[in-house]
Chains A and B, each alone.
Chain A
Amino acid sequence: MIIELGHFALVLAFALALVQFVLPLMGTRLGDPRLMAVANPVTLVGFALVAVSFAALTSAYIQSDFSVVNVWENSHSAKPMLYKVTGVWGNHEGSMLLWVLILSLFGAMVALFGRNLPDTLRSNVLSIQGLVGAAFLLFILVTSNPFTRLSPAPLEGRDLNPVLQDIGLAIHPPLLYLGYVGFSVCFSFAVAALIEGRIDAAWARWVRPWTLAAWLFLTGGIAMGSYWAYYELGWGGWWFWDPVENASFLPWLSGTALLHSAIVMEKRSALKIWTLLLAILTFSLSLLGTFLVRSGVLTSVHAFATDPSRGVFILMLLILFIGGSLALFALRASSLTQGGLFHPVSREGSLVLNNLFLTTATATVLLGTLYPLLVEAVTGEKISVGAPFFNLTFIPLIVPLLIAVPFGPLLAWKRGDVYAVSQRLFAAFGGALLVALLGYFLIDGTGVLAAFGMGLAAWLMLGALTDLALKAGIGNVSLSVAWRRFRGLPRSVFGTALAHFGLGVTVLGIAAVTSLDIERVMVMRPGDTMSVAGYTLKFDTIAPQRGPNFTEDRAHFTYMDAAARVQGEIISSKRLYTARQMPTTEAGISTIWFSQLYVSIGDATSDGGIVVRVWWKPMVLLIWLGGVVMMGGGVVSLLDRRLRVGAPARRKEKAAPAGVAAR
């Protein structure tokens, strides 16, 4: 009964989403406050229904109810409880349901926390959210229903793909979706503004926190996914420029651009139309990412052509949302008023520069991702655009941007002075140069590029610190005054500095790993040793073990420092998941400060040894820690109390204008 209730709740949510789309929009067009008032309760009830539906599917997974096709295809009674739960979104149908759950969650949050938005704006935003929700609910019900039943029910499921039975992949999709779908709110705001033909001051204020929230989840999702690929696939790489990765990276790049242009819009009412366009493009890229990953088009254009029902449906959704919103943009953008003017060299100017670089980088990655698909569709030839393309195009685009980052926050609004800012950044520049030189001369194996990367990282980090120091007035005023000013700085200033510092941390990790990592491959027998990066790795034993739903050969290693003291142990294994007869490797990783020793075992050789791959990954953790720091910056910025704009008192129409806002 619970399963069928979940199914029914999903259908009901679809009906309510239609109402959520039509009535509030009609209300704002006709100026009928009662129709606008429908938006809030319908959004909240719709969210509750999708939540019920998701809970029902989860309970079917927990109870191993194989009368649900989706559970039978992706679960197994012997699977650990954690992976029974995460298996809910480890497959197409369930992950689409999670997508819609998060979409309706964001809608509910706009309804709950949007009380200080103008009524018409909120109604329009919720209406567009309703349209997106209705479209995706229809997609689920028509092509990917997770509640399809199977009778008679089989006795055992087919198990979840073992690669997905991992804690990293348990957290990664929800984070990623919170990011993807979070941008739907910005999209709805943009379309609402276009429908209205008016951008309120409140508009810019409210779009920025939503962008920030979506951006920080997306950052977390990408970092988590990258770390998962690093330790689970056993190849020791952390980014592959794989289309699936690019699909999440694209909205991140344009979302970062949106984040920055929204600042200009909030502070200076400039770049309005551009910000609208970016909001539309960012969500469009999120949709495109969903399409690429979900339609099967990535494995092969032909796989897509053989079972096109889902792909064609998503393609139609893409055309509806991207085409529709861009058409609306073309029609209405000219009616929007232009904002404040500014000098090219100014904070605004630097943010425009940032946007130019980021959108060009987005276009580059988009081209590299879609080009093989186009070629395959037209000529039938399979080509792959890999790391060399992106290294040659993306890196030259992003490095000048990184060099420019410390300048931005130091420039004044409207009219800035690059020479004055350069003078203030002199210390940071000196520090960066010193790091680059020390890196070049003191560390073995660093080339010019690696030293440059480290210098760039130091430049970003020191630049962020310089920004804080200058805003606090260190050097100009006494220390106690500076401390007071430091503590009184708005949180968004700390957010900016933290995010830019985190970027530097990531760049440092990338520079160190790409230039200094060491790889050794050797056939080892128990008792053998090998030396890597000053450590001696000893292969102790290998023994078979049984897990709940797999068997494994578990190899035990210990590693010693130069003085032969044991520093720690590493366990690396090869698993065979019995239900699917699928082998996986579980890399053994030992963390030493920010660096990692990475051991992956391969096939047994005929003479009783096994192939052991060992990597020394210096500073590798910084890549993801930088992402965490960036997220921290986002959180701090989001907590800025200035974002809580006061709402004017609600009053009867035609009452005397009071004009004063109540906080």
Chain B
Amino acid sequence: MAFWIIAALLTFAGCLAVLLPVVGNRSAVTRDADHDLSVYQDQLSELDRDLDRGTIDEREAAEARAEIGRRILKLSAEEQRSVSAGRFGKVAATIAVLLVPLASWGVYSMTGSPELSGQPLQARLSKNPAESTIDELVARAEAHLAANPQDGRGWEVLAPIYYRVGRFSESVTAWRNAITLNGQDADRELGLADSLTAASGGVIIADAREAYERALELDPANLKAQFALAAALSQEGRDDDAAVALRTMLEQLPNDSPWQDVVRRALATISGDDSNLIAGDDQSAMIENMVAGLDQRLREQPQDPAGWQRLVHSYTVLGRIADASDALARGIDALGADSEAGKELAAFAAERGVGVKE
């Protein structure tokens, strides 16, 4: 409401600026010749000053005086054009006064967004958490941690949230900070390892494997770590070792454990023909899910060179070459074919045998 009132006042001021001079009784106007005359007189007095100062001599001064005199004479011969406040002027001014509000409100209604209020960052971060979106909560936590980077508990709270919203590399950093500040424990190492795996699109990279190993060391009975390490062996192509590890795991599992099914299925896959998919349905569904999440995120926030590389890599690992090629095309499109990041992405994909379809 306040906006409309102030906008109306501004418009009113604009109209007044047009209206007031027109309604005022103003027939006074300066003659052009008078202005010229005052300039010439100024020049004459300056000539006298120059003569006093000695910068010009008497002969030059006389000559210049004669010239200025000639100009003054020419002036009086000039006719002053007549001045009158005609009817036509009044019509034009009326149109102008009407045009100001019409044009401004007309154009603004096309270009403006009067319904949107200002959203200063500080105000957004300090409003009631219950009304905030998850992104705002994360931003607030980030602001807090930027100011207090030594707050280990803060990092520990933020890390799984990052993981859940799909910001895996930030989740990795948060877990690392939590481990540095709060010390090692199995859950933190496990969180780090999961984030690392998710960040590389479901592939258990060396860093992740080491983190799983540390978690297992801290908690030798940890089933998740055991299973992940077996999966890692299979990913490296050591299916026999993986099968041994899974069998050992199975032997130690109590009969009512929910892991029973998972491990059995994984074992079946390894010993079956399908060597590509090592994990059971659950695991592969999880991986597919994660990749789909990454894909979705990149559609929304395409300025992420590392993300695109991860996506292309994940699709290649999953054997979905067409999707990989599609992701590559979208990535190059988003990053720009001529940009450094775009070229890097193309090279990265070419190493994995992925090219853009024609």
Binding site for B on A (CB under 8 A): 1-5, 7-9, 11-12, 14-16, 18-19, 22-23, 26-27, 30-38, 40-42, 44-45, 49, 52, 60, 63-67, 77-78, 116-121, 141, 145, 147, 149, 151-153, 155-156, 198, 200-202, 205, 269, 340, 412-414, 471, 473, 477, 485, 488-489, 642, 645-648, 650-653, 657, 659, 661
Query: A267 vs B74: C-alpha distance in the bound complex, in angstroms?
Result: 17
B127 on interface, CB distance cutoff 8 Å: no
- 6 inter-chain pairs at a CB distance below 8 angstroms, sorted by A residue, are A4-B113, A16-B14, A38-B96, A49-B10, A65-B119, A661-B42
Question: Which A residues are CB-close (under 8 A) to B133?
Answer: 152
B54 on interface, CB distance cutoff 8 Å: yes
B236 on interface, CB distance cutoff 8 Å: no
Q: Is the CB of A15 within 8 A of B99?
A: yes
Question: Which B residues are CB-close (under 8 A) to A64?
Answer: 120-122
Q: Is the CB of B28 within 8 A of A156?
A: no
Q: Is the CB of A33 within 8 A of B107?
A: no
Query: What's the minimum C-beta distance from A314 to chain B, rounded to whole angstroms?
Result: 19
Query: What's the minimum C-beta distance from B105 to chain A, rounded to whole angstroms?
Result: 8
A63 with B54, Cβ < 8 A, contacts A38-B22, A141-B111, A145-B111 known = no
Query: A602 vs B18: C-alpha distance in the bound complex, in angstroms?
Result: 61
Query: What's the minimum C-beta distance from A643 to chain B, rounded to whole angstroms?
Result: 10
Q: Is the CB of A31 within 8 A of B14?
A: no
Query: A33 vs B89: C-alpha distance in the bound complex, in angstroms?
Result: 9
Q: Is the CB of A34 within 8 A of B119?
A: no
Q: Which of B30-38, B157-165, B198-206, B342-350 contacts A (4 or more CB under 8 A)?
A: B30-38
Q: Is the CB of B27 within 8 A of A12?
A: no
B112 on interface, CB distance cutoff 8 Å: yes
> 7 tightest CB-CB pairs across the interface, nearest first?
A661-B38, A63-B120, A648-B34, A37-B21, A32-B89, A64-B121, A201-B39
Question: Which B residues are CB-close (under 8 A) to A4?
Answer: 3, 112-114, 116
Question: Which A residues are CB-close (under 8 A) to B92?
Answer: 22-23, 26, 35
Binding site for A on B (CB under 8 A): 2-3, 6-7, 10-11, 13-14, 16-18, 20-22, 24, 26-32, 34-42, 46, 53-56, 60, 63-64, 67, 71, 81-86, 88-89, 92-93, 96, 99-100, 103-104, 107-108, 111-114, 116-122, 124, 133, 135-136, 138-139, 146
Question: Which B residues are CB-close (under 8 A) to A16?
Answer: 14, 17-18, 100
Query: A477 vs B118: C-alpha distance in the bound complex, in angstroms?
Result: 72
Query: What's the minimum C-beta distance from B23 to chain A, rounded to whole angstroms?
Result: 8
Question: Which of B34, B35, B36 is packed against the most chain A CB atoms within 10 Å?
Answer: B35
Question: Which B residues are CB-close (under 8 A) to A147?
Answer: 111-112
Q: A18-B99, A65-B119, A647-B30 are in contact. List 8 more A-B contacts (CB 8 A).
A: A5-B7, A11-B103, A155-B136, A200-B32, A200-B35, A477-B54, A646-B41, A647-B38
Q: Is the CB of A33 within 8 A of B29?
A: yes
Q: Is the CB of A15 within 8 A of B119?
A: no
Query: A471 vs B119: C-alpha distance in the bound complex, in angstroms?
Result: 64
Q: Is the CB of B118 within 8 A of A63?
A: yes
Q: Is the CB of A653 within 8 A of B32?
A: no
Q: Is the CB of A31 within 8 A of B84?
A: yes
Nearest A residue to B36 via CB reads A201
Nearest B residue to A493 via CB reads B55
A11 with B36, Cβ < 8 A, contacts A33-B83, A661-B41 known = no
Question: Which A residues are CB-close (under 8 A) to B124?
Answer: 153, 155
Query: A263 vs B49: C-alpha distance in the bound complex, in angstroms?
Result: 18
Q: Is the CB of A32 within 8 A of B20?
A: no
Query: What's the minimum C-beta distance from A75 to chain B, rounded to whole angstroms?
Result: 10
Query: What's the minimum C-beta distance from A218 to chain B, rounded to whole angstroms?
Result: 27
Question: Which A residues are CB-close (under 8 A) to B17?
Answer: 16, 38, 41-42, 44-45
Query: What's the minimum C-beta distance from A436 to chain B, rounded to whole angstroms?
Result: 31
Query: What's the minimum C-beta distance from B68 to chain A, rounded to whole angstroms?
Result: 10
Question: Which B residues are CB-close (under 8 A) to A473?
Answer: 54
Query: A33 vs B116: C-alpha distance in the bound complex, in angstroms?
Result: 44
Query: What's the minimum C-beta distance from A307 to chain B, rounded to whole angstroms?
Result: 13
Q: Is the CB of A205 within 8 A of B39?
A: yes
Question: Which B residues are CB-close (under 8 A) to A34?
Answer: 21-22, 24, 26, 85, 89, 93
Question: Which of B17, B36, B103, B104 is packed against the most chain A CB atoms within 10 Å?
Answer: B17
Q: Is the CB of B22 within 8 A of A11?
A: no
Q: Is the CB of B85 within 8 A of A22?
A: no
Q: Is the CB of B30 within 8 A of A66?
A: no
Q: Is the CB of A648 within 8 A of B38?
A: yes
A7 with B108, Cβ < 8 A, contacts A15-B103, A65-B121 known = yes
Question: Which B residues are CB-close (under 8 A) to A646?
Answer: 38, 41-42
Query: What's the minimum C-beta distance from A8 to chain B, rounded to whole angstroms?
Result: 5
Query: A31 vs B86: C-alpha distance in the bound complex, in angstroms?
Result: 8
Query: A30 vs B90: C-alpha distance in the bound complex, in angstroms?
Result: 12
Q: Is the CB of B38 within 8 A of A31?
A: no
Nearest A residue to B23 via CB reads A34
Query: A34 vs B22: C-alpha distance in the bound complex, in angstroms?
Result: 5
A153 with B119, Cβ < 8 A, contacts A35-B93, A49-B14, A648-B38 known = yes
A202 with B35, Cβ < 8 A, contacts A34-B21, A41-B17 known = yes
Query: A198 vs B118: C-alpha distance in the bound complex, in angstroms?
Result: 52
A5 with B38, Cβ < 8 A, contacts A42-B17, A65-B119, A653-B27 known = no
Query: What's the minimum C-beta distance from B33 to chain A, rounded to whole angstroms?
Result: 9
Query: A27 vs B121: C-alpha distance in the bound complex, in angstroms?
Result: 50
Question: Which A residues are CB-close (under 8 A) to B122?
Answer: 63-64
Query: A414 vs B63: C-alpha distance in the bound complex, in angstroms?
Result: 10
A489 with B53, Cβ < 8 A, contacts A4-B114, A121-B32, A659-B37 known = yes
Query: A205 vs B37: C-alpha distance in the bound complex, in angstroms?
Result: 13
Question: Which B residues are CB-close (under 8 A) to A152?
Answer: 133
Q: Is the CB of B100 within 8 A of A19?
A: yes
Question: Which A residues are CB-close (under 8 A) to B11?
Answer: 12
Query: A40 vs B111: C-alpha distance in the bound complex, in angstroms?
Result: 29
Query: What's the minimum C-beta distance from A296 to chain B, rounded to whole angstroms?
Result: 14
Cross-chain contact of B116 among A30, A63, A151, A489 (Cβ < 8 A): A151
Nearest B residue to A67 via CB reads B119
Query: What's the minimum C-beta distance from A54 to chain B, rounded to whole angstroms?
Result: 15
Q: Is the CB of B120 within 8 A of A12?
A: no
Query: What's the minimum C-beta distance from A140 to chain B, rounded to whole angstroms?
Result: 10
Query: A14 vs B118: C-alpha distance in the bound complex, in angstroms?
Result: 23
Cross-chain contact of A63 among B14, B28, B111, B121 (Cβ < 8 A): B121
Question: Which A residues are CB-close (under 8 A) to B35?
Answer: 116-118, 200-202, 647-648
A65 with B27, Cβ < 8 A, contacts A19-B18, A200-B36 known = no
Q: Is the CB of B28 within 8 A of A201?
A: no
Query: What's the minimum C-beta distance from B170 to chain A, rounded to whole angstroms?
Result: 12
Nearest A residue to B117 via CB reads A1
Nearest B residue to A117 via CB reads B35
Question: Which A residues are CB-close (under 8 A) to B121?
Answer: 63-66, 77, 155
Nearest B residue to A268 via CB reads B67
Query: A118 vs B116: C-alpha distance in the bound complex, in angstroms?
Result: 47
Query: A642 vs B89: C-alpha distance in the bound complex, in angstroms?
Result: 38
Q: Is the CB of A41 within 8 A of B53?
A: no
Question: Which B residues are CB-close (under 8 A) to A650?
Answer: 28, 30
A30 with B96, Cβ < 8 A, contacts A14-B104, A116-B35 known = no
Nearest A residue to B45 via CB reads A642
Query: What's the minimum C-beta distance from A633 to chain B, rounded to whole angstroms?
Result: 19
Question: Which A residues are CB-close (under 8 A) to B46?
Answer: 642
Question: Which B residues are CB-close (under 8 A) to A145?
Answer: 111
Q: Is the CB of B60 within 8 A of A651?
A: no
Nearest B residue to A27 via CB reads B89
Query: A526 vs B309: C-alpha distance in the bound complex, in angstroms?
Result: 37
Question: Which B residues are CB-close (under 8 A) to A67?
Answer: 116, 118-119
Cross-chain contact of A201 among B24, B54, B56, B71 (Cβ < 8 A): B71
Query: A49 vs B99: C-alpha distance in the bound complex, in angstroms?
Result: 17
Nearest A residue to B84 via CB reads A31
Cross-chain contact of B30 among A41, A118, A414 (Cβ < 8 A): A118
Question: Which B residues are CB-close (under 8 A) to A488?
Answer: 53
Question: Which A residues are CB-close (under 8 A) to B16?
Answer: 41
Query: What's the minimum C-beta distance from A4 to chain B, rounded to whole angstroms?
Result: 5
Question: Which A residues are CB-close (under 8 A) to B85?
Answer: 32-34
A37 with B83, Cβ < 8 A, contacts A45-B13, A201-B36 known = no
